[in-house]
Amino acid sequence: MNVAIVGVGNISRTHMEAWKHIPEATVVAVCDIRQEMIDRAVDITGARGYLDFTQMLDNEDIDILDICLPTYLHADFAVQAMERGIHVLTEKPLSLYKKDVARTYEVAQRKNVRFMTAQVLRFWHEYELLREAYQSGQYGPLISATMTRLGSTPRSSWDNWMIDEQRSGLTPFDLHIHDLDFLVYTFGEPKDMQVNRARGAKRDDIHVVYHYDGFFVSCQATWHNAVFRFRSGYRFQFEKAVME
Ligand SMILES: NC(=O)c1ccc[n+]([C@@H]2O[C@H](COP(=O)([O-])OP(=O)(O)OC[C@H]3O[C@@H](n4cnc5c(N)ncnc54)[C@H](O)[C@@H]3O)[C@@H](O)[C@H]2O)c1
């Protein structure tokens, strides 16, 4: 399968390394609007580099497009590729808007191509174990839980798009969405929720408590205005065991 990557900034590095572990896939083309990022990506992958996305689609025979662009561009680029019959993997979140979700899935179905948003927690072993423990009931019923996702306010995104609410959605869409995706995937829609948020010029702190039948989950997602090593984790209290 021929893979192309568009947006070869920070997180694309992880994608480029990951594709190397899939023998059936070859990264044949990379695209960015910054030549220095293209040069770095070409060094890592050996692929051909493009400054223009449409030119890349026209010139290359692409099976899968991997989108590592800023959040506000995901849906438009996904739709453009799927209209040409290309399968798409996009970084999270797909969009800040429901209407983009609807139009993206409409094109995927109409063109009969695969589309996936990289909500990765579902596939991490620690979270698979948690889901299994809940579903099997091996530790008794779930009572309460905390999930955390903490880091510094991002300073190295292209054009500082990550600290622009219109383009990134800030901590709810950039960080908390990972934990929320896992909760909905594992427990379904919560019955109720309470939200507290403390925002400042260079910080954003959201705490959400989700209520389910018989248990609640308290989530925190924070960008600190400080040098703060990124960390994430969970603690789930079952009747007979605590998982963390
Ligand atoms: N799954 C995760 O844990 C995780 C972690 C970090 C980031 N992300 C997501 O990945 C995405 C990218 O984040 P990032 O940190 O790599 O951002 P970044 O700013 O470092 O990289 C984005 C790249 O896109 C390029 N770009 C911008 N406009 C373009 C265009 N029109 N055409 C081609 N290239 C263009 C920029 O030059 C830049 O190199 C975001 O949606 C973010 O939410 C996910």
114 shares its domain with 8: yes
Residue with CA nearest ligand 1 atom 31: 33
Report the distance separating Cα 50 and Cα 29, nearest Å: 7
Q: Phi then psi for 199, rounded to 5 degrees?
A: -115, 145
Tens of pLDDT, residue by residue over 95-110, are: 999 999 999 999 999 9
Check whether residue 159 and residue 228 sit in a common domain.
Answer: yes
- Candidate of 68, 80, 88 to mutate for ligand 1, largest count of ligand atoms within 8 Å of Cβ: 68
pLDDT tens digits along 171-228: 999 999 999 999 999 999 999 999 999 999 899 999 999 999 999 999 999 999 999 9
Residues constituting the chain = 244
| Residues 126 and 23 placed together within one structural domain of the fold | no
Alpha-carbon separation of residue 148 from 132, 205, 223 (angstroms): 20, 11, 11
Q: Give the 3-state secondary structure of residue 243.
A: strand
CA of 114 to the centre of ligand 1 (A): 21
In whole angstroms, give the CA distance from residue 161 to residue 138.
44
For 133, the token pair is 């423990």
* Residue 57 alpha carbon to ligand 1 centre in Å: 19
The pLDDT of residue 88: 98
Looking at the structure of the chain, the number of domains it has is: 2
> In terms of C-beta density within 10 A (0-12 exposed, 13-18 middle, 19 or more buried), how is residue 163 classed?
middle
Beta bridge pairs of residue 34 = none
Which tokens in the block code for residue 203? 């910080």
**Same domain for 164 and 140:** yes
Cβ of 7 below 6 Å from ligand 1 = yes
Structural domain containing residue 216: 121-243
